[in-house]
Amino acid sequence: MPTQMPFEGLLLGAALTVVGLIISWVVWRRKGASAGLRAVAWSLLPLAFGLIGLMGLLASLAGQLVRFFGGLVFDPLAWAGVVVAGVAVVLWTIGRLLRGRSRPAAPAEQPASTQGRPASPAVGKGSQGPRSSAGVDDEFAEIEELLRKRGIT
């Protein structure tokens, strides 16, 4: 490994940090101190990587990723893998939809603790049936009454 690599990584990290700090200044002016400080924090990371000596590793990783995705574009076997992954996602989605439809319907009677209240649908499922407009109006009336009591409306 050449002895110049850490110095070159440090220079690259410093250059990226300067560019990031310029962008951070613009963010600070437009969005305020909170967003500006977060941008400054992100801007200091390339300098930290350069000082630690990780710039060479990150450059090598970026090069390998470019080669991987470049090879993926022209490799028919890789495209077959993408198709198989797509089929797996479609089958999984269909299985989830079928699972939701195959559950037995709720019993006609409600427990005593829930009588008088409208049934709410389970989380992640659509409504069990059409709700009457009177039930919806009653709920909105209750909400409006609470807002009036609090002096919000």
* pTM, full prediction: 0.43
Residue 101's φ and ψ, nearest 5 degrees, are -85, -25
Q: How far is CA 40 from the centre of its chain?
A: 23
The helix (H) or strand (E) run that includes residue 90 is helix 76-101
Over residues 58-113, the pLDDT tens digits come to 888 999 999 988 888 888 898 899 999 999 999 999 999 998 776 665 555 555 55
Buried b (16+ CB within 10 A) or exposed e, 41-70: eebeebbebbeeebbbeeeeeeeeeeeeee
* Selected residue with higher pLDDT from 100 and 28: 28
With cut-offs at 50, 70 and 90, classify the pLDDT of residue 114.
Answer: low
pLDDT at 99: 82
